[in-house]
Structure 1
Amino acid sequence: MNDLSARLQAIRDRMTAAAQRCGRDPAAIELLAVSKTFPVEAIREAVDAGQLLFGENKVQEILGKAPQLPANLQWHLIGHLQSNKVRKVLPQVKAIHSIGSLDLARDVDRIAAELGLFPQVYLEVNLGDESSKHGFSAEQVRASLEALYALKRLEIQGLMCIPPFDDDAEKSRSYFVQLRALRDELEQRGGEPLPRLSMGMSHDFEIAIEEGATIVRVGSAIFGGRTYATAA
């Protein structure tokens, strides 16, 4: 077993343990391997270790990587989606985790209809009210719910959040609790199920599972530290 395979198995083991601690079925929680900035070769190693579900932050990375990899992989877009890239990415992805405004939802719905697609989407909620992040506020998603459900091409899976980062992973818990509570409220308001919660990353995914995550987004704990290009 190579290093990446060992790290991947360690994450799966920790997910199972977290689920068992809170009486959940580990099979009900998906691992989204976040491969942003990592090369195709690293993704192939993960595929060889049995991983088929991958997340990318940027449309251009999905468009560049997907054709070089097995067709049975599932790709999720987890980063901000610009309206002018919707048409390019929709045919390539199983789900979009970053529907953060009613305008974007309407654009995706319209283009999905033109392409004959029914994309799975998550509504991104900016619970920390951070200006650096996209997403609905809790009040905005409440106010937009009826209009969102009127968009018949979108298969709204549930909610997504990215808590403010803190070295103490326990600080994320309150945000995960808030997202779960908001999801429960919206289900009652809208009368439609929102079964999925996309929350938890490399440093806090176990806490997210304890609070109800159905899909965790783990990158560096699988692939290693990232090296970002800097301006000269």
Structure 2
Amino acid sequence: MNSPTDEHGYADIDVDRTGQAEAFDAIGNRYDEAFPHKDGQIAATEWLIESLPAGSRTLDLGCGTGLPTAGQLVGAGLEVVGVDLSAGMLDLARRNVPEARFHQLDLADLRPGGPRDLGRFDAVAAFFSLLMLPRAEIPLALRTIHHLLAPGGLLALSMVEADVDDFTIPFIGSTIRVSGYLREELREVVVTAGFEIVGETSYSYAPASGDVQPEEQIFLRCKRRQHG
């Protein structure tokens, strides 16, 4: 799936999502079955909740089934918008968290000057969503998140620690393409995009699905710098 490009860094990128959304359409509820324990994600979302005033506007980027993140944010009295590329995942999210608003969009659609404008947010949760992008696009995605955040806004970000770029892997009966960084390089990419890292945790995780390898999950708690 090719998205329009513009002058904000995307003009030189072939935005190719071929097969990515279709894989998650096919996976559906099996995603939550394969990843039943999301301790790091829950803890990072709790940090957002504790840091934000009631009613703050939050974006769940790559919201999947809406669980646990969108549900957790709604339950804390926050306004929640969810975005995902998979129509199947969004159907589940709307059923699981009817209080939130969900949109079928690519993050690239939300770039400065892009085709969709959802306004500004006090916080963004991006749990494993940037994992689905080629490395060349990840800095642009982080700059887009910076653009979406109000000054001083918060970002809860998670990635799998891996030195790979747009690498095809088996995943819960389908195949997807993933990218990652080693820890120091991930920090550098995030800081360069205009964020201050205020906290970091990591978890060794063994998914319940036999075709998903054990992984080291990194969770960064970040604050949008005023300039950067």
TM class by shorter-chain length? 0.3 to 0.5
Q: TM-score under structure 1 normalisation?
A: 0.35
**Structure with higher strand content:** 2
Q: TM-score under structure 2 normalisation?
A: 0.35
Larger Rg, first or second structure (1 or 2): 1
